[in-house]
Amino acid sequence: MAASSVFRSGLFNNKVAIVTGGGTGIGKAISAELLELGCNVVISSRKVERLEAAAEELKQKIPASSLASVVPIACNIRQEDEVKALVSSVLKKYGQIDFLVNNGGGQFSSPVESMSSKGWKAVIDTNLTGTFHCCKEVYSAWMKDHGGVIVNIIADMWKGFPGMAHTGAARAAVDNLTKSLAIEWASSGVRINAIAPGTIISKTAMENYKEFGPTLFKMSVPFSPAKRLGVPEEISPAVCFLLSPAASYISGATLRVDAGQSLYHSMWDIPDHSAWPEAPEGENLDTLKELLNPKSKL
- The span from the CA of 197 to the CA of 292, in Å, is 38
Q: Which of 57-66, 74-83, 113-122, 232-241 has the lowest mean pLDDT?
A: 57-66
pLDDT digits (tens, 9 = 90+) for 149-178: 999 999 999 999 999 999 999 999 999 999
Q: Is residue 187 part of a domain?
A: yes
**6 belongs to a structural domain:** no
Confidence of residue 236 (pLDDT cuts 50, 70, 90): very high
What is the rounded CA–CA span in Å between residue 139 and residue 89?
15
Q: Which of 64, 49, 167 is nearest to 109 (CA)?
A: 167
Query: Does some domain include residue 180?
Result: yes
* Torsional sign, CA 277, 280, 281, 285: negative
Taken in order 203, 54, 19, 47, the sign of the CA dihedral is positive
For position 96, which CATH number holds? 3.40.50.720
CA atoms of 56 and 47, how far apart (whole Å) = 15
Task: Provide the residue range defining the domain that includes 85.
Answer: 16-292
Instruction: With a cut of 70, say whether residue 108 has pLDDT above it.
Output: yes
Residue 4 counted as domain residue: no
Asked if residue 297 belongs to a domain, the reply is no
Residue at 114 is within a domain: yes
Beta bridge partners of 100: 18, 150
Question: 206 by DSSP, 3-state: which?
Answer: helix
39 domain residue, yes or no: yes
**Cα(148)–Cα(228) distance, integer angstroms:** 35
pLDDT at 3: 64
Number of domain units in the chain: 1
User: Is residue 260 a part of any domain in this protein?
Assistant: yes
Distance between CA atoms of residues 170 and 96, nearest Å: 29
pTM of the model: 0.93
Q: What is the pLDDT of residues 46-73, one digit of tens each?
A: 989 999 999 999 998 798 899 999 999 9
